[in-house]
Amino acid sequence: MATHTTSRAGTTSSGQAPGQAPEAAGRYVYDLAEGNAGMRSLLGGKGAGVAEMTRLGIPVPDGFTVTTAACVAAMESDGAWPEGLWDEILTHLADLERRTGRVLGAAERPLLVSVRSGAAVSMPGMMDTVLNLGISDGSAAALAEETGHPRFAWDAYRRFVQMYGEVVEGVPGEVFETELAALKDRRGVEHDTGLTPDDLQGLVATFRDAVRRTTGRDLPTDPHEQLRRAVDAVFGSWNSPRARVYRELNDIPDDLGTAVNVMQMVFGNRGDTSGTGVCFTRNPATGARERYGEFLLDAQGEDVVAGIRTPRRLPELETLLPDAYTRLLATMDLLEHHYQDMQDIEFTIEDGTLYLLQVRTGKRTAAAALKVARDLVAEGEIDRATALRRIDAAQLDQLLHPTLDPDQAGTPLTHGLNASPGAAVGTVVFDADTAAERGKTENVVLVRWETTPEDIHGIAAAQGVLTVHGGMTSHAAVVARGMGKPCVAGAGDLRIDRDARTLTIGDTVLTEADTLTVDGTTGTVYAGALPLVQPSITDDFSTVLGWADDVRRLGVRANADTGPDAAKARELGAEGVGLCRTEHMFLAADRLPVVQRMIIADAAAERQTALDELLPMQQADFEDILTAMTGLPVTIRLIDPPLHEFLPDLVEQSLLVQRLETDGPPDELDQARTVLGHVQRLAEKNPMLGTRGVRLSLLHPEIAVVQTRAIIRAALAVRGRGLDPRVEIMVPLVGFAEELARLRAVVVATADEELAAAGVTDLGYQVGTMIELPRAALAAGEIAEHADFFSFGTNDLTQTAVGISRDDAEGSFLAAYLEDGIVPADPFASLDVEGVGELVRIGVERGRRVRPGLETGVCGEHGGDPASIAAFDGLGLDYVSCSPYRVPIARLAAAQATLRGATRDDA
């Protein structure tokens, strides 16, 4: 029976992971020589990678892979292994013993193995590993005699007890770290490499005692039992909290499961002719074509990525172990050419002999992704379409992160490694839980001795990361780069007092009330908040997005309510404004009182006075936007104000009246009572579905008249300056065709009156509507008779179709729904294709049936989400509109959608 249970995840009824190769059925274990890169979904990324390297003749330790199908079957059965799995493992273990001439747990020529996870989608550091499995008192002594290196043998043994104790037995890692630190302190050494063989042998006994004290049982001595429990623990780590957080952050399905790779150990801790390292075939931070990586001599396994010791730069290996370095460079070239992409490689050198333990596509910053893609095309390795497919569209957001203002740099507190580019400002926090909590309401910088996979939620919430230990390939660096978070690692002169919760740098002491600025581009740390500047667009950015523009079918516009927003959107490649929300223009302090007077006016004349005051304000705003977007369409939505957003709060106004009744001036009391009466009269139980949008303008047509005048006058003024304004006037919240017909008549009459007064006949304005109610989508044929265009407002369409209040749900049940898998994604972040997407499809089809060629777009937040953009492309929309800084994401995502469509058509 399995000793470690895992929570159930959604799978197919057969226990196979979706998309798995058919050969998975009935078989769960493959030797490395049986696999290849095309079996990734079955063997996991690590298993497929080492199998492919075996096929290419690259030196890889021998072993076998337990498939993802086995993990999925175990999850499906609440942790119980599928029938026959253990027998398969034993059979493949016996074959491995025969090939190596070694036996697991033997007193002579013992076989030691690693047990490592390997999901189909790379999740660095998120799941568990056990090294040196099979070692015991007897086999440790045998290894010491066989190698003539007793320190290595006992070091391997203490590492096994530590990793097995933590991963399989559940002993907290700090239990072992505390004992190790105490021993180093007693011996007066800084690193564990300074400990003697006797020290390490004693540490093995200390660690075993720690396991016994913590768990109440001894560490098992049967190597087969150890192997079974280790495999089961790796299965279980698929659903560890850190793995689940990582999958949520990176949109990785929960039902894929992990493979388990059991491989013969090779040892980087056999002295100064041995070592371990991680390297990239190109620089993952910049994309430069250079050898990039780190290593440690006399080290093993996780030492480099865990940040326990600050590693050395890869070029230093040439001097220390030149033959191994030359072979490593040749292998790096071979693998990059084979995979036609930048590769991330883990290697071990044992007594001068090079072994590769893993190869995978290297995680990189957005800037590096663009440069690598551009360079690989220039080098003839890939074509442009392949380059576009490979870039993560959402990752482009990183390119718009701020950097330090070079003209206002402060005095550096300290320097570390420039592990992930960009700059961040935030208050200091010392643990991931605090970062996750405080990061909800303020900017924080997570400061750690070194990060671990358990810190993933804190890194996600922080603006930046600063660590004392670790290098360019440490956990902090890799995860921060993947998230686009600035990171400075290996700042060795930091001193963290966990109990006092202070950070000391030289003579400076910082607490969790103090602010830091970290510059991940240079590796510099400053006290206080330094000014940041927005980044400039690089040649790589412009070139690759130019390729995307050549490919994509969907247009990309921006949601912009001001001239500067429109100008920034155009700079980032927007092809117009898809949504200008006029009510957002009224929230400024000098305008809100005027709008309030307009809303609460009892008499038409009083309302008209307020509108006349607003007209020049709106006209000036429209002129700025039309000027910034000259030659491109600008869709201006008529006012759509949920009234509660523009009026005083009913409770607060009532309390104000009560206070003034006690001791307030009579004139202030009268005014407050008058306002309270208006607020009570206009209060609505559900203002989001109340008197807003077209309803407000039909009740008070003078509002639409004034807005239309402001729009047309602005367009005429811009044209008078020799520019080319292109106006689209949008009527919001239409549910009935008659609503649009009547308000369109008001808009057209007003616009034509303005044009006639100016002697202009060819402005070419359009009048359309926003489809944001289910009835509007269903009645799109009738509505299209009065519309020049449709723009789908998927924010409100989602609320009204799904019956979820966005403001309420995101703070209450929606998080639980996502956690429990009731819904696959936040429907306000990624389009609900089956529900809301179906309404969009119906609206497009019925609208175009009546008005062929009807322009259709989307202006909700989904317009900047890559998955939603793919759906909109399939639905035949003409454009998406999103916030200015998501325009680059939408441009690339639209190109990728076109390429996917072409691939489907070819198939």
**Angle, to 10 degrees, between the axis of helix 150-167 and the axis of helix 197-215?**
20
Phi and psi at 355, nearest 5°, equal -130, 145
Element (H, E) at 510: strand 508-510
- Distance from C-alpha of 301 to C-alpha of 437, rounded to nearest angstrom: 33
Instruction: State yes or no: is 475 an active-site residue.
Output: yes
Structure tokens at 903: 């691939």
d(CA 810, CA 828): 9
CA–CA distance, 82 with 73 (Å, rounded to integer): 6
C-alpha 865/C-alpha 418 separation (Å) is 30
Helices (H), 642-793: 650-663, 666-682, 694-699, 701-720, 737-758, 774-778, 780-784
Residue with tokens 């008249």: 705
SS3 per-residue string spanning 230-263: HHHHHHHHCCCHHHHHHHHHHCCCCCCCEEEEEE
> Which residues lie closer than 8 Å to 639 by C-beta, 6 or more apart?
582, 583, 586, 696, 697, 703, 707
DSSP 101-121: T-EET-SSSEE-EEEEEEESS
The amino acid at 314: L
Residue 295: partners with Cβ closer than 8 Å, 6 or more residues away: 275, 276, 277, 278, 279, 304, 311, 312, 314, 316, 317
* HEC profile of 157-191: HHHHHHHHHHHCCCCCHHHHHHHHHHHHHHHCCCC
DSSP state of 298: S
Give the strand pairing for 343-350 and 412-415: unpaired
Which is catalytic among the residues 678, 859, 862, 882? 859
Closest by Cα among 211, 261, 346 to 48: 261
Both tokens of 816, joined, read 């639980």
Q: How far is CA 737 from CA 97, 248, 389, 594, 689, in A?
A: 77, 42, 42, 32, 18
Phi and psi at residue 509, to the nearest 5°: -115, 125
Contact yes or no for 643/682 (Cβ under 8 A): yes
Between the alpha carbon of residue 622 and those of residues 151, 307, 619, 634, 726, the distances in Å are: 76, 54, 5, 9, 11
Contacts of 788 (CB under 8 A, 6+ apart): 728, 766, 767, 768, 854, 855
Cβ contact 293:277 at 8 Å: yes
Residue 130 belongs to what H/E stretch?
Answer: strand 129-133
Q: How many CB atoms lie within 10 A of CB 223?
A: 22
- Tell me how far apart the alpha carbons of residues 796 and 45 are, in angstroms, rounded to a whole number: 41
- Amino acid (one-letter) located at 152: F
Cα(524)–Cα(487) distance, integer angstroms: 10
d(CA 117, CA 172): 20
CB 434 within 8 A of CB 415: no
| Catalytic pick among 475, 644, 700, 862 | 475
Angle between helices 604-628 and 592-600 (to 10 degrees): 140
Q: Any residues with CB less than 8 A from the CB of 460 and at least 6 apart, and which?
A: 245, 249, 436, 483
Q: How far apart are the first and last CA of the chain?
A: 45
Q: So which residues are the catalytic ones?
A: 475, 859
